[in-house]
Every structure is written in structure tokens, then in C-alpha cells.
A and B are shown apart, each in its own frame.
Chain A
Amino acid sequence: MAAPMLRWGCRGRRWALAWVDGGSCHRRGAPTGSTSNRIRGQSSLAQQPLRTAQKPRKGEHKWAAVVGLEIHAQISSNSKLFSGSQVRFSAPPNSLVSFFDASLPGTLPVLNRRCVEAAVMTGLALNCHINKKSLFDRKHYFYADLPAGYQITQQRLPIAVNGSLTYGISAGKERGQVIPKTVRVKQIQLEQDSGKSLHDDLRSQTLVDLNRAEGQLRVDANVSVHHPGEPLGVRTEVKNLNSLRFLAKAIDYEIQRQISELENGGEILNETRSFHEKLGCTVSMRDKEAKQDYRFMPEPNLPPLLLYDATSLPTDADPQQVINIDQIREMLPELPSVTRERLVQQYGMLPEHSFTLLNEVGLLEFFQNVIKETRAEPKKVTSWVLNIFLGYLKQENLAVSESPVTPSALAELLDLLDSRTISSSAAKQVFEELWKREGKTPGQIVSEKQLELMQDRGALEQFCYSVMKDHPQVVMDVKKGNPRAINKLIGLVRKATLNRADPAVIKEILEKQLSL
């Protein structure tokens, strides 16, 4: 049955699909109609360093797993890819549907310029080669939420190919060590999405809403295993992956399943499997019927999509009707890898920190606003933002935009800390108060709670002296050379001063008084 198709060819009319290749390329196990040669041709790329999925068992051949991800990402636009219907969440069923979206006879697709720009921008950001000519095709299958009986996609010649994405993983023994890795992007294509099906098993019916499909970001994984040096194995496609955690789990399971199957003399079928979240395994979705054949054909209603650059742009062209790749390249914002590098250089932070700053929405902006307003060292700001601020956010599951503490408030707090007006522990106390949203500034909290550090050195010396007098045994331990004894003294002085003394200064005074 076309159950696999339910999640595959989803419509929404403004999608880009990226083929991301983890290690080497995939060989499609069985040809799918006339397009098989082209798919295989694209798949058999040059040798890539193979990654072993796991430690080999004793006395057996090493196995290498090959993983390819198929990512469906919805383009952010006002209207759909091929029609002028609105793109919006939570609208009444079928209210965002035009005659074309309902596949009424005689309607034609009209390409949305914004979607093409988005696809080109994505291709450029992922270091792809942008095809100046790309083509649209029809991919046929039957499902209730695909009323046309086909999906318009870019199977033969997509808009962008051969890209890459560099990312970092935290590994290695040193703290903050990030190992850079690169994954290849096979292609990026524009395609329609399907509608949404609600299955009513009780009444044996399916309710169809053609507004849009579910999910702004969906992933399917293609997995195969083989022995290094030998040809690629048969791949399976795994669907129903609803989180990164499940994606990882499903891929791990599938790799193991395939290895076990092959080691027991079985064979891997080129099939679609569904990931079962509760059981943590993949289950075959194929039915006993004939294999799916999508009968790809060129979309007869759409001419080739032509893109231009500064050199090839026709001079008399209507600017609304041409897309200039170079112009779009200039519109690209600073890419994350460049930003991260800049943060490391400019603020001396660990690469690991730069990743964290960029991975949380709004956090980088927050950080930069604090830096702007405070005198404190960037390293101090980094530490406070990434450890304390982020920690509080995560504890209450808040986004940066929902934070009770503004960049200005944190900047003021860090200034108080930097000027040694308050101690580090007092600062944390103030932060906790700020989080309560009582509208007080750090300065106000400090005065109300009397958290200012003692500035009177004489008084502090007096405290130190009396503590030492009251604890002669500890003083003896210090003089004997016990390194921890002095901390005990410091603690006692702190308690005596109601925590209003800087431990570093206490230590200094004690050491002086003890003539150490």
C-alpha cells in the first residue's frame, strides 16, 4: 500500500527537499522505472572515507554503514509554491485551498518567485552548485491527500547539487574540543507537499484537509551496510522519525538489524520501514503487492526554470521575471560557521561555546547586547550567559525571548561584580532575585539585601583577627601546613561577615596576619 507515501510526498506547495549524504552515496537497490540509470549514475560517486558503524566482532569482517538523510523543509513564504493560497497554520480545514490546490481540471501551476529565491539561498548556504537550468517532473502515486494523483517535484534536474555542510561534534578528551565534520549534500529540489489525512478507523474513513501537510521539518533515513572495499549494500528507507533522538536510535537499530540479518545468511530487501518509537525498532511497511512505480514524467505545464548570474543576466529583462544568483548571494546573512569563528577570535571563547550561543534562538543577540552595555570581560559575560542565564532558561523551559532578565539588567549586574561591589556568590543571589520578575534593578536588590561587599578593610581585619583568636586549633593546622585549614578559616570569616566579604581579600588578610 502507499502507506510510505503518506509521509513521503507530502504537499504544502512550498517545499525544498535536500538529499544529505552521510558517508558514501547510496545505491538504490532496485530500479524504479526509466529513471533508474540516472539515479544510479548520480549515486556512484568517487570513493569516500568509509566510516565503520561499530567495533567489529571477533574474527569477523568489518562492516561499514552508509546513511543518507532525506530532509523535507518547508519554505517560509506567504503563499504556496504553485498557487496563491495562503500559507498558515491552524486555519479552518480547506480554507487555504485554491482550485489548483484541489486539483480541479483545467487549473495550472504558477511558480512562486519567493520559493525559488529561498531554494537558491539554501543552495548557496550549503555550498551547492546552482543549476542555471532545472526541470520539474511529476511523480505519480495514489493517496487521498494528493488529489491530482501526482506530486510536482524536481527529480531529473534539481535546482542545486553537490553541496556540503560542516558541523562540529563535541568529542575528544579536552574540554571544549570540537571536531569538525563534513556531510555532503547530494541535491536540493523544490517540490509540492500533500495535504493532511486524518484517519477515522472507527468509521472506516479518511478526512482530508488540503490546506497543508503536517510538520515544518521532516526526515527520513536511508541505511545500508557493506564490507569496506565491496560494493554498497541494499538500502532500506526508515520513516516516522519524529525527533533527533529517534533518528539516531532508528539508524543505530537499522544498522544492527541489517548486519545481523546478513551475518545470519539473510538478505536485505529494498523496502520502506517504519520506526516504532516504543519498541525502538524498525518495522517493514511494504505490503505484498507490486513495487511502487512512480512513473516519473516531465511536468508538461512548466517550462525549464532558468536562473541567471551577473554575467548572463539579459539586459532588457523584467527584474520581476528573472532571478540573479549573484544578487541572492549578496543577500545571504553571515553564515553560522563564519559567526562562530568570529566569536572565537573576538572574544576568546571556546569553539564549544560558540556552538551553544548559536544553537539557541536569540541567545547570540542577548550575549552581544550584554557585551555592549557592560564593562566586564567578555569571558565573564560568556560564562554568565552560557552557564547561569542559559541554565535558568532551561530549568523553566523558556525561550530567550521569554527571559525575565534583560541584557541591560545582566550588564548592570556584571558591572557590580566587575567593580567588586559585590562578590560572586552575591551576584548569583541577585540574579535569582531578578528572575522573580519583581521589576527591581540589580542595584536596588543589592541595597535592599545589603549584599555590598565590605569596603572597610580595617573592619575586615578585625573580623579575621577575632576568628583566629576563637579558633586556635585551626590556626595551628594552618601553621602546620595543612592546605585545607585556611579554607576553613576563610569560611568562618565569611560567616561572621554575613557573606559580605570577598573571599580572596579574606585570604590575603589571613595570610598576612599569619605571616605566611
Chain B
Amino acid sequence: MWARALWLGLRAPLGGPRCFTSKTDPQGSGRITAEVIEHLERLALVDFGSREAVARLEKAIAFADLLRAVDTDGVEPMESVLEDRCLYLRSDNVVEGNCADELLQNSHRVVEEYFVAPPGNIPLPKLDEQEPFPHS
């Protein structure tokens, strides 16, 4: 599937790669705004703690953007590399469970066979409440 798509892409008229501006690239300069970083940090709970991390992110996005060079008009997207495999159907029998003790050992804190977690979802501090950090 990839091979065929690439072939079509190469056969495309010499217009070069399509011009897309990625969502993260509103100015077209390849920089990512502080807002986007903040948004990503909240969504994925990662910490882009340094300028280098953000630069690495920008490079990763630019690398992925190369995919847009391929002309995929009229090509069905591949949903899964497993698309030719059969989805195995399990019989509705009870064959596992009953291992609370084992599972609870993984937890830092346990109360009467319950896992203990911090209360609710604690929002991350807002950008301006954080330590000053040069994003862009």
C-alpha cells in the first residue's frame, strides 16, 4: 500500500510537495507557540522542560510532514497493519481474574484492596504560574 502511494506521488506533476501549513505552524516558520506546548503538556502529561525538547518536537513534526509530499488522492487509507489478519473471537468464559493480591502489590498505596490515587484530576499550573522558561 505504501509502495503504491509513493509511486503515485512520484508520478505527480512537478509541483513539488503540496503546501500544507500544519496546525502547529500558523506562521509557517516551523516554530511552535507556547500555547500549543501548554496544550500538549496537559493532554499528554509530558513536560517539555527545555528549549531543546521543543526544538526536538519541531524537528519531529517537520519529519512527519514529509508524508504530505505523497499524493494520496483516491487512495484508501490503511487503518491497520493488521488489516489482513483475522480478529480472534474469544468464547465468553471466565478464565482469569482473582489475583487482587498480586495486582495490589504494584500499587504504592493500598487501602483495603482498593488502589489509592490522588483526588480527582489536579489541573496543571497555568503557564504564567510556572517557573519562567523561554519557549519561543
- Is chain B a partner of chain A in the same complex? yes
Question: Within 8 Å of chain B (Cβ to Cβ): is A280?
Answer: no
**Minimum distance in angstroms from A420 CB to a CB of chain B:** 55
**B114-A303 in contact (CB<8A):** no
Once the chains are docked, how many angstroms separate the CA of A62 from the CA of B114? 53
**B99-A206 in contact (CB<8A):** no
44-97 of chain A: CB within 8 A of chain B: 77-79, 83-86, 92-97
Mostly helix, strand, loop or mixed at chain A's interface? loop
B10-18, B64-72, B79-87: which lies at the interface: B79-87
Give chain A's interface residue range (CB within 8 Å of chain B): 35 or more
Q: Which of B90, B111, B112, B119 has the most CB of A within 10 A?
A: B90
Once the chains are docked, how many angstroms separate the CA of A283 from the CA of B96? 42
B1-9, B25-33, B35-43, B51-59: which lies at the interface: B35-43
Once the chains are docked, how many angstroms separate the CA of A411 from the CA of B68? 77
84-119 of chain B: CB within 8 A of chain A: 84-100, 103-104, 106, 109, 111-119
**A208-B114 in contact (CB<8A):** yes
Q: In the assembled complex, which residues on chain B have CB atoms less than 8 Å from the CB atom of A303?
A: 80, 82-87
411-425 of chain A: CB within 8 A of chain B: none
**B80-A114 in contact (CB<8A):** no
Whose C-beta in chain A lies nearest to the C-beta of B102?
Answer: A99
Question: Within 8 Å of chain A (Cβ to Cβ): is B45?
Answer: yes
Q: In the assembled complex, which residues on chain B have CB atoms less than 8 Å from the CB atom of A101?
A: 97
Q: In the assembled complex, which residues on chain A have CB atoms less than 8 Å from the CB atom of B42?
A: 289-290
Mostly helix, strand, loop or mixed at chain B's interface? loop
**Known contacts A86-B94, A113-B89; A94 and B100 CB within 8 A of each other:** yes
Question: Within 8 Å of chain A (Cβ to Cβ): is B136?
Answer: no
Whose C-beta in chain B lies nearest to the C-beta of A210?
Answer: B115
Q: In the assembled complex, which residues on chain A have CB atoms less than 8 Å from the CB atom of B74?
A: none
**Known contacts A97-B100, A199-B120; A85 and B90 CB within 8 A of each other:** no
Question: Within 8 Å of chain B (Cβ to Cβ): is A332?
Answer: no
Once the chains are docked, how many angstroms separate the CA of A92 from the CA of B38? 41
**A207-B97 in contact (CB<8A):** no
**Known contacts A110-B88, A113-B91, A135-B79; A206 and B96 CB within 8 A of each other:** no
**Known contacts A94-B113, A290-B38; A110 and B90 CB within 8 A of each other:** yes
Q: In the assembled complex, which residues on chain A have CB atoms less than 8 Å from the CB atom of B121?
A: 1-3, 142-143
A294-302, A349-357, A392-400, A489-497: which lies at the interface: A294-302
**Known contacts A84-B95, A290-B38, A320-B91; A93 and B86 CB within 8 A of each other:** no
**Minimum distance in angstroms from A87 CB to a CB of chain B:** 8
170-211 of chain A: CB within 8 A of chain B: 197-201, 204-210
When the two chains form the complex, which single residue of A84, A302, A305 contacts B97, counting CB atoms closer than 8 Å? A84
**B89-A207 in contact (CB<8A):** no
When the two chains form the complex, which single residue of B81, B90, B104, B118 contacts A205, counting CB atoms closer than 8 Å? B118
Question: Within 8 Å of chain B (Cβ to Cβ): is A434?
Answer: no
**B116-A206 in contact (CB<8A):** yes
**B114-A298 in contact (CB<8A):** no
Question: Within 8 Å of chain B (Cβ to Cβ): is A268?
Answer: no
Whose C-beta in chain A lies nearest to the C-beta of B97?
Answer: A85
Question: Within 8 Å of chain A (Cβ to Cβ): is B123?
Answer: yes
When the two chains form the complex, which single residue of A84, A197, A199, A201 contacts B93, counting CB atoms closer than 8 Å? A84
Q: In the assembled complex, which residues on chain B have CB atoms less than 8 Å from the CB atom of A110?
A: 88, 90
Once the chains are docked, how many angstroms separate the CA of A323 from the CA of B90? 12
**A94-B87 in contact (CB<8A):** no
Once the chains are docked, how many angstroms separate the CA of A104 from the CA of B115? 14
Q: In the assembled complex, which residues on chain B have CB atoms less than 8 Å from the CB atom of A305?
A: 87
When the two chains form the complex, which single residue of A1, A198, A302 contacts B123, counting CB atoms closer than 8 Å? A1
Instruction: Name A residues whose Cβ lies closer than 8 Å to a Cβ of B.
Output: 1-3, 77-79, 83-86, 92-99, 101-102, 104, 110-116, 135, 140, 142-144, 156, 197-201, 204-210, 287, 289-290, 293, 295, 298, 300, 302-306, 320-321, 323
Instruction: Name B residues whose Cβ lies closer than 8 Å to a Cβ of A.
Output: 38-39, 42-45, 79-100, 103-104, 106, 109, 111-124
